[in-house]
Chain A
Amino acid sequence: MKEKITFKALSTHMMTGVSYMIPVIAMGGILQSFGTMLGGAGVLQQPGTIAYMLFTAGQAAMNLVVPILAAFIAYSICDRPGIAPGLLVGVLAVNMKIGFIGGIIGGYLVGYFCAYIKNNIKVYSAVKPLMPLLIIPLAGGLFAILLMNVLIGPPLAGFQEAMVNLFKTMGVGSRFLFGSILGGLVGIDMAGPIGKIGTTVANGLMADGIFGPEGAKVCCCMVPPLALGISSVFLNKRKYTQQEAVAGKSAILLGLFQVTEGGLPFLLNDPLRVIPCTVIGAGISGGLAMVFGVESPVTMGGIAAFPVMTGVFPGAFIAVGVGVIVAVGLLALIKKDVKDDEEEKNKQCAEDLDIHIEL
């Protein structure tokens, strides 16, 4: 596909990569934590045990995270020929310890490089079958080597280590700030495209071995649906429609298991009043989780993830609890009693929308 490089295109490629990366993180993280649960902290000193096998397999899987991300960013840009060089640039990024950031930049550059070759270099028809099978991957691979060893590798060298150190030495204030920004992003659209900016950073840091932001993510992602559910089902029934009251029950359940999307029905009905509450609630929750040192080796699960996380008690309980209480309180203050303004809302929506039909 020939295309301009726009922010939307960049974000689509990133999200395509992330969508393939998530199951890898989930599998690797959970295998590692099973290993730790069975074998304890000294799991690596017990070769041959099941715990050791689980843990090392989990580590191996986590090493695949950045390559998969890079490969599928490249795949999104230039289709199948991008996968091989994308994987390579990702593996090189991991080897050079510039993990996540290197993988993303590498994935984009390799993808666009391969797309350029694909779209601009014309060859004899006899050679054509070789293009996707050999020439583009090989050229992309050489480009990946150049990137990682000369162009972006050296400037980024030590970046990952610096990030790890930064998180280790971060003071209480900056921890809180980081966590609350993460939570705030999640609260804006219930872990939709905007929230994904924050959660992708947390997932990436986790792939680089920093588990704090992921812990904050687990906590703050639970807050919006829990708060909206509790508010609509128990505390402020008059402020919600009948449909919302039904959605509220499932929102509580979804919230417990960290499916932030459970809050979506509420946000869609009344974005201007719901968003500030969820942003502040999730923000406080994320901040507190960082301050209390909640860490998670898994990306999803909510209360199901608690057993494999560290700093859960009291940290995660406080973070989630306070976040929910604050959000519920704000909802009680800000939400209005339900009126029939459906029609007006639909009209307004139609005006914002501007579509384009490609023929």
Chain B
Amino acid sequence: MKIVAVSACTMGVAHTFIAQDKLVEAAEKMGHQIKVETQGSIGAENVITEDDVIQADVVIIAADINIKDENRFKGKPIVRVGVTVAIRQPEALLQQIEEKLKAIH
């Protein structure tokens, strides 16, 4: 799968970036491509481009707050979870997404 994800937590200094690490780690282990944009207190980093979105099979929004620029993902399958899900069970999350996407297609 090609995945784009946005992570954002309330303080925007810790959980946001742990979630990014965990998602990247899990995706690499499972052979998926992923790009995670962090919307921390410092602002958006590793920003997802239009091209990224076009190529992506699925969008993961792992956030406890409302993220910026959600409109750009219109038309893509979106999965919304809290930041802690991405931190605690990233592999289970990706696995479930894969299964459910397959079921849809």
- Chain A residues in contact with chain B, CB under 8 A? 1, 11-13, 15-16, 18-19, 22-23, 76, 189, 191-193, 196, 259, 261, 264, 268, 346, 349-350, 352-353, 355-359
CB neighbours (8 Å) of B80 from chain A are 356, 358
Which of A13, A19, A349 is the one whose CB lies under 8 Å from B89?
A: A349
Which of A22, A259, A358 is the one whose CB lies under 8 Å from B14?
A: A259
- Asked if B88 is at the interface of the complex by the 8 Å CB criterion, the answer is yes
Decide yes or no: A76 and B64 within 8 Å by CB, A353-B96, A357-B100 being known contacts.
no
Does A264 lie within 8 Å of B87, measured CB to CB? yes
- Asked if B11 is at the interface of the complex by the 8 Å CB criterion, the answer is yes
| Chain B residue at smallest Cβ distance from A189 | B84
Across the A-B interface, how many residue pairs have beta carbons closer than 8 Å?
A: 85
CB neighbours (8 Å) of B100 from chain A are 355, 357
Q: What is the interface of chain A mostly: helix, strand, loop, or mixed? A: helix
- Asked if B81 is at the interface of the complex by the 8 Å CB criterion, the answer is yes
Does A355 lie within 8 Å of B66, measured CB to CB? no
Decide yes or no: A350 and B89 within 8 Å by CB, A12-B66, A16-B66, A23-B41 being known contacts.
yes
Nearest chain A CB to B105 CB, angstrom units: 11
In the complex, 12 of the A-B residue pairs with CB atoms within 8 angstroms, ordered by the A residue number, are A12-B65, A16-B65, A19-B9, A193-B84, A259-B14, A264-B87, A268-B88, A350-B89, A353-B89, A357-B79, A358-B77, A358-B78
Does B77 lie within 8 Å of A349, measured CB to CB? no
- In the assembled complex, the Cα of A210 lies from the Cα of B101 at a distance in Å of 51
Nearest chain A CB to B102 CB, angstrom units: 11
- Asked if B36 is at the interface of the complex by the 8 Å CB criterion, the answer is no
- Asked if B47 is at the interface of the complex by the 8 Å CB criterion, the answer is no
Does A15 lie within 8 Å of B65, measured CB to CB? yes
CB neighbours (8 Å) of A349 from chain B are 88-89, 92
